[in-house]
Amino acid sequence: MTGLKLLYVEDDARLAEQVRETLSAQGDSVEWVASGGEGLARAASEAFDVVILDRMLPDLNGIDLVARLREAGVAAPVLMLSALGRVENRVDGLEAGVDDYMAKPFEPSELVARIRALHRRAAGQAHSAVILFGDMECHVKARTAHRQGRHIPLSPKEFKLFKYLIENGGEVVTREMLLRHVWNLSFDPQTNVIDVSVGRLRRKLEEGFETPVLETIWGTGYRLVAA
């Protein structure tokens, strides 16, 4: 893999320099900015392979920044770094639309590995611009969902859930698979986050249509079916 073009939003200058040195040693090009406002402006004006951002920025909360990035049409995968490493903090970040979440302190080698995994995943998605299943469409690059030609407005997390379900259309998807691929969690946080998110997605996909498309497989998981 050739070096990646990375945007790093971090107000801690010492940590930023350490991370820049680590990533530059891998051949990556790292642009560092110290505020959320600068990060938003740079990400919206230029394409980056991965955006890395701190959660607690002086001018703009990292969670809000992710939402602003997506509203601005920034499709680059986002890795959030934060001193807030409890399960609920990580779930909040992933729910907000970040693609991966690492708690501080972290091992530099793990940071490098996660950035490369995010880039590989995004590059794979780019090859499949539109996924079709039944009367539904998933426009990957535009991050939009449609049914019978009608646009279905989804939050970043709902879109990620829909995309995973349509990629596995007709197949049973277990709760463990959803945790791993949609929430990037290798453990069950013992919350009802999946049920709530699936419930919201189901309402949006089925309200105003005659045929249901999202089945609950009791005790196992869910299945998207073709209408």
Please check whether residues 50 and 140 belong to one and the same domain.
no
Q: Mind listing the pLDDT tens digit for each residue in 64-119?
A: 898 888 777 787 889 999 888 888 888 888 877 788 888 888 888 889 988 988 88
Phi-psi bin for 147: left (phi > 0), alpha (psi -120 to 50), beta? Answer: beta
Q: Please, what is the average pLDDT of the chain?
A: 87
Taking every pair of Cα atoms in the chain, the longest distance, rounded to a whole number of angstroms, is 57
Q: Please check the confidence at residue 14 and state whether its pLDDT lies above 60.
A: yes
Secondary structure element (H or E) that encloses residue 178, with its range:
helix 175-181
pLDDT-based confidence at residue 169 (cuts at 50, 70, 90): confident
Q: Please check the confidence at residue 142 and state whether its pLDDT lies above 70.
A: yes
Q: Collapse the DSSP code of 162 into the 3-class scheme (helix H, G, I; strand E, B; otherwise coil) and give the result.
A: helix
pLDDT-based confidence at residue 132 (cuts at 50, 70, 90): confident
Please check whether residues 143 and 101 belong to one and the same domain.
no
Query: Cβ distance 197 to 158 under 8 Å?
Result: yes
Least Cα distance to 92 among 117, 61, 113, 68 occurs for 61
Q: Who contacts 65 (Cβ-Cβ below 8 Å, separation ≥6)?
A: 9, 36, 39, 40, 53, 57
Do the strands 78-82 and 100-103 form a parallel or antiparallel pair, or are they unpaired? parallel
Cis peptide before 77, with omega less than 30 degrees from 0?
no
Q: Collapse the DSSP code of 191 into the 3-class scheme (helix H, G, I; strand E, B; otherwise coil) and give the result.
A: coil
Q: Mind listing the pLDDT tens digit for each residue in 26-49?
A: 899 999 999 999 999 999 888 899
The CATH number for 187's domain is: 1.10.10.10
Q: Please check the confidence at residue 149 and state whether its pLDDT lies above 70.
A: yes
Q: Which of 73, 89, 123 is the last residue of a domain?
A: 123
Mean pLDDT value across residues 154-178: 90
Q: Please check the confidence at residue 193 and state whether its pLDDT lies above 90.
A: no
Please check whether residues 172 and 213 belong to one and the same domain.
yes
Query: Cβ distance 183 to 175 under 8 Å?
Result: no
Query: Cβ distance 138 to 147 under 8 Å?
Result: no
Please check whether residues 134 and 92 belong to one and the same domain.
no
132 - beta bridge partners? Answer: 137
Question: φ and ψ at 179, to 5 degrees?
Answer: -60, -40
Please check whether residues 90 and 191 belong to one and the same domain.
no
Q: How many domains are contained in the chain? A: 2
Structural domain including 89 reads 5-123
Q: What is the CA radius of gyration of the chain?
A: 18
Q: Collapse the DSSP code of 37 into the 3-class scheme (helix H, G, I; strand E, B; otherwise coil) and give the result.
A: helix
CA–CA gap between residue 87 and residue 124 (Å, rounded): 28
Q: Which of 89, 105, 123 is the last residue of a domain?
A: 123
Taking CA 116 as the corner, what is the angle to CA 5 and CA 53, rounded to the nearest 5 degrees? 60
Render 117-144 in DSSP notation, one character per residue.
Answer: HHHHHHHHHHH--EEEETTEEEETTTTE
Q: Mind listing the pLDDT tens digit for each residue in 108-121?
A: 888 998 898 888 87
Please check whether residues 112 and 198 belong to one and the same domain.
no
The confidence score (pLDDT) of residue 91 equals 80
Please check whether residues 76 and 104 belong to one and the same domain.
yes
